[in-house]
Amino acid sequence: MGGSEWRGSGSHIARARPRTTFDLPVEALGSAFEHRVWNALRTIPYGTTTTYGELGRQLGDRHSRAVSVANDRNPIPIILPCHRVIGAKGELTGFTGGLERKRWLLEHEGVLLGLSG
């Protein structure tokens, strides 16, 4: 089929497209600050990264460590894309699924990786 993937049958055939965003309600237990961080994660565009420090500045909190802890407590890491947050020097840092999975997710999104870690 020319490299395209098709799903469905009969009159319900639809071309499958890669999902780059998730727009669904999320109810997760966490502090008010954690929810602010998790909501900010949803604004990081597919195929891009940001740093813990930049995310903290965006939220008005200069402490990247607090952002890192909230990021680590993310209960649904693909829906709330914490893999898009990297260290200040461009290094891969903590990810619940492991750094190899984080690297794979970023590569899958087309992020140019000259990242260490």
Which are the catalytic amino acids? Answer: 82
Dihedral (C-alpha) 113, 63, 71, 81: value to the nearest 10 degrees? -50
How does strand 50-51 pair with strand 85-86? parallel
Nearest to 35 by CA among 62, 70, 64: 70
Whether 106 contacts 90, CB under 8 Å: no
Cα distance between residue 26 and residue 110, in whole Å? 26
